[in-house]
């Protein structure tokens, strides 16, 4: 018996779950929950398999860019990576690089990290300040 991919059923799944490019950890967590559900689904349909593969691809892309420092890393992504690895909250950085507003703007990528902030962050995270410049 050959199974046929049902476009309408797939459209329903896309409308229900609304997969999109993952841009932050919250969106990543939501996608992981759906993948977990699909992973444990007995007798997944072809359409569910397609959604599963799509979500895995989106999750892998996000995690590679967000969690894997390397040539594609930016000062902002390095800050987020180090904050995640060290369980650092925005409030922990207020005394390191400035006011709550400044910290929020830096963490959200709305403000560049200055040389003085890079030095302070390097000291705080015990890394070369150059990773933040």
Structural contact between residues 82 and 128, judged by C-beta atoms closer than 8 angstroms:
no
Per-residue model confidence (pLDDT) at position 1: 58
Total domains in the fold of the chain: 2
In a domain, 1, yes or no: no
> Do 12 and 57 share a domain, yes or no?
yes
- Cα separation of 76 and 84, whole Å? 12
Q: Hey, what are 104's tokens?
A: 């929020």
In this predicted model, what pLDDT tens digit does every residue of 111-130 receive, in sequence order? 899 999 999 998 998 888 88
Question: Which phi-psi region, left, alpha or beta, contains residue 89 (left: φ > 0; alpha: ψ -120 to 50)?
Answer: beta
Structural contact between residues 14 and 54, judged by C-beta atoms closer than 8 angstroms:
no
Domain that holds residue 82: 75-132
pLDDT band of 70, cuts 50, 70, 90: low
> Do 11 and 63 share a domain, yes or no?
yes
> Do 81 and 126 share a domain, yes or no?
yes
In this predicted model, what pLDDT tens digit does every residue of 5-62 receive, in sequence order? 899 999 999 999 999 999 888 999 999 999 999 999 889 999 999 999 999 999 988 8
> Do 32 and 82 share a domain, yes or no?
no
Per-residue model confidence (pLDDT) at position 64: 80
Inform me whether the pLDDT recorded for 2 exceeds 90.
no
> Do 90 and 59 share a domain, yes or no?
no
In a domain, 115, yes or no: yes
Per-residue model confidence (pLDDT) at position 25: 87
């Amino acid at each position: 018996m050959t199974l046929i991919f049902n476009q309408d059923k797939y459209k329903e799944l896309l409308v229900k779950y609304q997969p999109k490019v993952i841009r932050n950890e919250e969106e990543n967590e939501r996608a992981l929950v759906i993948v977990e559900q699909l992973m444990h689904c007995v007798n997944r349909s072809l359409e569910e398999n397609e959604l599963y593969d799509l979500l895995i691809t989106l999750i892998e892309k996000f995690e590679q860019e967000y969690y894997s420092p390397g040539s594609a890393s930016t000062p902002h992504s390095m800050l987020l990576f180090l904050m995640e690895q060290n369980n650092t909250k925005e409030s922990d950085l207020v005394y390191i690089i400035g006011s709550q507003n400044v910290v929020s703007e830096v963490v959200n990528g709305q403000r560049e990290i200055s040389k003085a902030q890079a030095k302070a962050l390097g000291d705080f995270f015990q890394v070369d300040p150059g990773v933040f410049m």
